[in-house]
Each structure stands twice: as C-alpha cells, then as structure tokens.
Amino acid sequence: MQIDDTLTLQDLKSKMQQFWQHSAGKMLAIQDNYDHGKGTPVFTEAGKYTTRGWTEWTQGFEYGSAILQFDATGDKQFLEIGRQGTLEKMASHVSHFGVHDHGFNNVSTYGNLLRLTREGKIPQRDWERHFYELALKVSGAVQARRWSPINGGGGYLYSFNGPHSLFVDTIRTVRALCVSHELGHSVMGDNDLNTSLLQRAIEHGKATAKYAIYYGEGRDSYDVWGRTAHESIFNVNDGNYRCPNAQQGFSGFTTWTRGLAWAMLGFPEQLEYLRQLDPADLEPYGGFAEIEAIYLKAARATCDFYIDNTASDGIPYWDTGAPQLHRLGDYTERPADPYNDFEPVDSSAAAIGCQGLLRLGRYLEQRDAEAGQRYFQAGLTVLNTLLSEPYLSTDPAHQGLILHSIYHRPNGWDYVHAGAKVPYGESSMWGDYHAREAVLYAGRIRNGQDYHFYDCVR
C-alpha cells in the first residue's frame, strides 16, 4: 500500500461525522426490519442483513455497535437498543462453552456498558455495574476452560473446531480473560484447581505468536515475514504441533487477510494492557520484557506484511495466495478493485487491521518514533479509504455500513450479484462493528482521549 504521510486525524473529522450519521440509519433499519426470530444478523444479501448458522459469534457486534453509536454521538436511543439487547439476548453467550468468541460477544457488550458506567456516561447504579461485572467474570472463565496444553509447556485456547485447533482469531478475544482477571476472577477446575486467567491469556498469546505467525526464519517453504496461518493443528495425544491449516483462507500456506488483521489488532491491544500492569505480576510468566519482545515481534511482522501485500489504498484482497489473484497483475500498485472478475476484496479485514496499525503506531511512538509514525499513518490511510465510497455505504436502502466484506469464500457463503463472477457490495456485522470501533478510537485520539478494552476495569 501507499502510505499517505500527510494525512491527519483532523483531516478526517468531517468524514467521521458523516460516518456516524450513516451508521445511525443503518442500525435503525436493522432494528426496524430484521426478524431476530431467524437468528443473529451476520452479513447482507442484496443489501439486507441475513443470518448464517455456524456459531452465534456476531450478536455482540450488533448490540455493541449500538453502544458505540451512543458513545460517539450521545444519542440515547442507541444506548437503549444496546442495553436491552444485551439484557435480553446476551446471557447465552456468557455461558457458551462451545466457542472461542467471548471477547467478541461479551467485551463488546457488557464490557462497553461497564466502561461507559465507569466513565460516567451511564448513571452510576450499583446493581447495573455488578450485573455487567458478573457477566464479564463468568465469560472470561468459560472461555479459559477451552484449554489445550502444548508439549514442553504452555497451551492455547482452542477453537470451536476442537482441542486440536488454535485459531489466530482468538488473539483478539483473549481480552475476555484479561477483563475477568482484572475483576479478581480465575478459572476453577476439578479438585478446586485454581488457574490464573492472566497466565492463560499470556500463554495463549505466546502460542499464537509462535505457531500462527511466520518470521522469515525458514520454518517452511512459504515462510515470509508476517505471514499468518488461520489455524494451527496440534496432536492432542502428545501436545505436539503438526501443521498449518485454514478454515476461511485459501490454504494453510497462504494468508487469509482477516486472520492477519485479527493478529494486527490483538497483539498491540495486549501490549497496551500488559504495559500498564505491575511488572511483578508478570514475573511468573517470564517478565514484561520477554513477553513484550514476543508480542511486539508478532505485531510488527503482521502489520508489515499487511502494508507490503495490500492494494495502494489500504484495502486487501481476501487472501494473499488466492488462486486467481495473479490475474490482477501487481495489485499492490493501484487501488483495490472490488468489482474485478477474479478475486474479492475484504473490507472487513481493513476495518479490523486499521485499528491495529493505529494502536501499534501509538505504542511505538516513544521508543521508535519513525516506525511508530509509519504504522500510524498507514492506519490513517486505510481508515480514510473506508470512510469514502465505494466502501462507506451511503444508500439508505442498504442495511450495511461498510461495503465489500467477505465472510467465507471457500464455502461460497457470500452473495454474488447476477452477472458478477465474485462477491462484492455486501457488508458484515463484524466489519461494521470494527469500523465503528476504529472511528471511535480515532475520534478519541483526535480529542486528546484514549480507548482500550480494559477501560471497563481500570
């Protein structure tokens, strides 16, 4: 991609204001027209949100989006949508033992509501605060129960595929464990075995950095700096690593860009969190310096790979090894083309990744100002593209906010318009949510504030 070094947050102020105006209309259209009896809204088909039974991993994004809308605009109708939706629909996600998505569903809802309570944007009511805290305590412990040990020490939070499966996605949902830990909770097992949630969060991060991220060190024939594997497979009989794999990418030896984006955001967020802990709390797990070195290497590698393998305007194609991508020539030298005949772009990866670039840039600004500035400007470049057409949806008849999102290309789940050869023009609940989160974050920075997942507990 071509990084715009002149772009500033102030330059994006008007676009951000317009974004929230469009965002409001989209959410009200879903609220008024979507039949929740059919399941959670997941992605759009011909501009209308529909569902897809796999796991209910997007409901927290629906109600979390409303909470973010209130946070950004002060419009109380969205607070009530988010609050009521959380009260009525999210309890099953707190106790859901079958998924690795607790950080998506529950930190996005209960966590954001608790944060607004602590910030004074919601009236301080003890019962309500305790309600949110209890949900977050339980959620972190439930996710931490999905644990597979690795031969030689450590382990990982396994995906919904089973104990053999480490998803790169989970580095962004491990925050559920961190929030629960901050609330004084732990995971209890047989014989009252008490395990630290902070320990499991850190060990999962180390495993993700070691097995899901590549560093150009000769691990296999396709090992290049920053490439990611969507899934890492282990032998559950002995805890040994076996091979890379992909569920939603083209293969285990190519980079599915949304998985890349989860790592781009998840590692900088964890670095922000760990940096403000008492260093003594991290000594049992190697100490801050050791953990930081591992996480920072993963964060920089993935962000570098994104910059090097993305179209000039910052929008990636769905997989950097997609089989027909070569027919586009050197796609990194020109803006992404969502209407091409060969491979779709994935704007949801951009919505997630741009926040990771911004956060990594700010994390590095005191120690490596030049690198920090590069990552931050890359994040602004991506965000600027997302806030403009053809990615920002300005058509009130379309329920999606960010267009050209891809869900599951290998399974053929994405809507393809008549006469088209690849999917385009549709939105996803995760893409829309993360665009809102990125704009909220950028807006707060512009106003001299900040925004972290752990603000709900610190």
At 363, the amino acid letter reads: Y
**Integer CA distances (angstroms), 164 to 20, 175, 222, 248, in order:** 41, 22, 23, 17
Per-residue pLDDT of the chain (458 residues; tens, 9 = 90+): 999 999 999 999 999 999 999 999 999 999 999 999 989 999 999 999 999 877 789 999 999 999 999 999 999 999 999 999 999 999 999 999 999 999 999 999 999 999 999 999 999 899 999 999 999 999 999 999 999 999 999 999 999 999 999 999 999 999 999 999 999 999 999 999 999 999 999 999 999 999 999 999 999 999 999 999 999 999 999 999 999 999 999 999 999 999 999 999 999 999 999 999 999 999 999 999 999 999 999 999 999 999 999 999 999 999 999 999 999 999 999 999 999 999 999 999 999 999 999 999 999 999 999 999 999 999 999 999 999 999 999 999 999 999 999 999 999 999 999 999 999 999 999 999 999 999 999 999 999 999 999 999 99
**pTM assigned to the model:** 0.98
Length of the chain: 458
Nearest to 45 by CA among 59, 56, 34: 34
Helical pair 369-386 and 429-446, crossing angle rounded to 10 deg? 130
Distance CA 285, CA 323 (A): 42
DSSP annotation string for 171-201: GGTTHHHHHHHHTT--EE-GGG-EE-HHHHH
Question: Tell me, which fold does domain 10-456 have in CATH?
Answer: Glycosyltransferase (1.50.10)
